[in-house]
Amino acid sequence: IHVFPKTVEPDVNVNVRWIWEDDSVVGLFKPAPLPVHPCGRFNRNTLIYLVNQVMGEGVLKLVHRLDANTSGLMLLAKSPEASDSLRHQFESGGVEKRYIARVIGHPLQDRFICDAPISRRRVLAGGREIEESGLPAITEFQVMTRMSDGTSVVEAVPKTGRTNQIRIHLW
């Protein structure tokens, strides 16, 4: 960790909750906004820093991540073997992920699929965008509720795991 004197990190939500634990895995609830690992202006205000303060440096290993502005369940491995197994399951599509998002507007269809490739390169603020020559990205959506205030609640099931995928596909 690089420390820059007189640098103040942005505030984050540190309300991390221990959800589940066994001999191999810990499940934590990560609130938003909270970056998972050090990046940009964040060094100490991250999930991994907070976990290391409680458990000790390197005791739990990240096997996946959530965007800083996404809340949800995070799995951390307790051993290199568990880490390798979980990483393989995430990378091979063996883990089904479901997200609930509140969006502005009412989608025209109750169910829809977005199959739009996402750029490899970062754009403004480190995000990604739709790019014809990008990496394949597929997300299935189902509208759960259309609200009277002009917003909707949708379930998103990513079939691939690209950076900012759900957000980009909903745009």
Q: Which residues belong to the active site? A: 67
Please give, one letter per residue, the 3-state secondary structure of the chain: CCCCCCCCCCCCCCCCEEEEECCCEEEEEECCCCCCCCECCECCCCHHHHHHHHHCCCCCEECCCCCCCCCEEEEEECCHHHHHHHHHHHHCCCCCCCEEEEEECCCCCCEEEEECCECCCCCHHHCCCECCCCECCEEEEEEEEECCCCEEEEEEEECCCCCCHHHHHHC
